[in-house]
Structure 1
Amino acid sequence: MRDKKFILFFVLFAGLIFSGPVYAKIGILTTQQVGSMLQTQKNIIVIDTRNKQNYLAGHLPNAVNLTENQIIAPKEGELGLMPYNQQLEKIFSEYGLKSNAAYIVYSGEDYNNPANFIAKAAWVISALYWSGIRDIYYMDGGFEKWKSEKFPVVKGNYSLPKSHFIIKFNPSNILAQKGFLLWSINNENTMQIIDSRPRKEYLEGHIKGAKWLYAGDFLEKVSNYWVIRPKSVIENLFTKEDIDINKPTVSYCQSGHLSSVIWLIATSIFDKQSFWSFCGTFANLQKQNKIPINIGPIC
């Protein structure tokens, strides 16, 4: 039985490593690049992930308002998780999204919380990627940076005609299911685990052996918005916490939203295809008593 389980997870792991859509592009764009892209390219859909009130007060031209709260679904009593394919198809069709378009996603708000600032967009980007979208870009700095640089701003609501969005496949190099996480915990020579929650939550209890790297540490504040730190600084963050950027990794948090930031940074900046965001919650793992928990620092 043990050998069969090993073979099963080996096949699963091999599939996760090699079957991802290598043609997909997850990127980070400056506001200047976005401005140029919107002027020169067609078939681009812009998504504003801020709340409705802020969106209506001003947004990028032709941006639709799709927030992280509209792309969550309860599963097995857990809140805030990725919806099933049929639910995503319904949501994306309602908003007029198309599988063959390129996407620009931006955030804003949460001016005192860098993790939430980027996590709202990262979650939407992960949902698009999970649904088979090929080209998705995060606009660094968000709406306030765009506005401060005098790019055009439009008030009121904008909507696209309803579409018939169909998910043809789900990429394997993004969401880690519970079985894969448990296997990863027991195979620390092959895998590493990252806890992306705030330090206080990590010290109160984390998966045994998990390294800590707060999702908000990837950003630095400029005026009233947050921008992603230089690549060299982010590399030092990984090194400081003894995290190997080249090692297959599963990150987790309380809902998958902060861990999606780890996935976004690894995929867009370092072009890594072997990072996964756990599709579940740490709290639920604790309740089920299926994982070893440590209190305090890892060492």
Structure 2
Amino acid sequence: MCIQEITIFLQRHIILSIIWVLLLIAVLYTTINSWLFGSSEILRDTAIYLINKKNAIVIDIRSQDDYHAGHITNSINVSIEEIKNNNICQLKRFKQHPLIIVHDNNVLAHSIKRYLYKLKFEEIYVLHGGIVGWKSDNFPLLLKNKALK
């Protein structure tokens, strides 16, 4: 194919061309983003290993109501707004520990992960499937100091 044919195609199919360029940008963004921030989602078994063997800290970024309705044992509830406003005094002492971010929406969890990277936290993971996946695999949750199954 010569450049002249490509130019004619682009002119005749402008919408397809725009869509193709947008998809290319999205793929490049996703690839570069995952490369820069490493593989970040971990399965529940890996999370349990990190918690038990490497003293990982579970950061639950759901609302307080959702947190109190059932949360992972020893997790810390921190609001998204606190992290975005750099109001993370309770987390600063855990900079040397692996962090596991938990939420119902992993897109939000990944955005919070990026904020924490900017705040110099180094080892940060997102729990694959979030709290919903944790519940669906019948891992225990705490509800007002009582264990749920």
**TM-score, normalised to structure 1's length?**
0.37
Contact 2:104 2:132 in 1 (8 A): yes
> Of the candidates 159, 163, 171, which is equivalent to residue 38 of structure 2?
171
* Superposition deviation, residue 293 in structure 1: 1.1
Aligned to 1:195: 60
> Equivalent residue for 1:267?
117
Q: Which of 166, 184, 208 in structure 1 is aligned with 2:73?
A: 208
**SS of match in other structure, 2:116:** helix
How far is the alpha carbon of 1:94 from its aligned partner?
5.9
Judged with a 3 Å threshold, the aligned counterparts in structure 2 of structure 1 residues 181 and 93 are, in CA distance, closer, same or farther, namely farther
TM-score w.r.t. structure 2 length?
0.67
Residue aligned with 1:96, SS: helix
Question: Partners of 2:59 and 2:44 in 1: how far apart?
Answer: 15
Larger Rg: 2
The AA in structure 2 aligned to 1:259 is A
Q: How far apart are residue 203 of structure 1 and its match?
A: 0.8
Structure-2 separation of matches of 1:293 and 1:181: 14
Alignment of 1:17-36 (within 5 A): none
Q: Secondary structure at the match of 1:207?
A: coil
Quick one: which of 131, 135, 138 aligns to 1:286? 135
- Aligned ranges for residues 134-145 of structure 1 at < 5 Å? 134=36
Distance in 1 (alpha carbons) for counterparts of 2:32 and 2:61: 21
AA aligned opposite 2:94: D
Percent pairwise identity: 13
1:143 aligned partner:
none
| Structure with a larger share of its residues in helix | 2
| Between structures 1 and 2, the one with greater strand share | 1
Residues 171 and 208 of structure 1, relative CA distance in 2, 3 Å threshold = same
Cα offsets for 1:40-73 (capped at 9, x unmatched): xxxxxxxxxxxxxxxxxxxxxxxx99xxxxxxxx
- 1:194–1:213 contact (8 Å) kept in structure 2: yes
Using the TM superposition, give the Cα deviation of residue 246 of structure 1 relative to its aligned residue in structure 2, in angstroms. 2.7
Take 1:240 and 1:198, find their aligned partners in 2: how far apart are those partners?
Answer: 17
Structure 2 counterpart SS, 1:240: helix
CA contact (8 A) 2:102 2:131 kept: yes
Taking structure 1 as reference, are residues 287 and 175 closer, same or farther at Cα in structure 2, changes over 3 Å only?
Answer: closer
**Change beyond 3 A, Cα 1:128–1:203:** farther
- Which residue does 1:182 correspond to in 2? 48
Q: Deviations over 1:74-120 (max 9, x none)?
A: xxxxxxxxxxxxxxxxxx97612274xxx6xxxxxxxxxxxxxxxxx
Aligned to 1:78: none
- Cross-structure match for 2:24: 96
Alignment length, in residue pairs? 127
Shift of the alpha carbon at 1:215? 1.4
> How large is the RMSD of aligned CA atoms in angstroms?
3.1
Which ranges of structure 2 fall in alignment gaps of 5 or more residues? 1-17
Secondary structure of the 1:251 match is strand
Which position in structure 2 is the counterpart of 1:26? none
| Equivalent position amino acid for 1:199 in 2 | Q
Alpha-carbon distance in 2 for matches of 1:275, 1:183:
14
- 1:240, 1:171 → 2: CA distance? 25
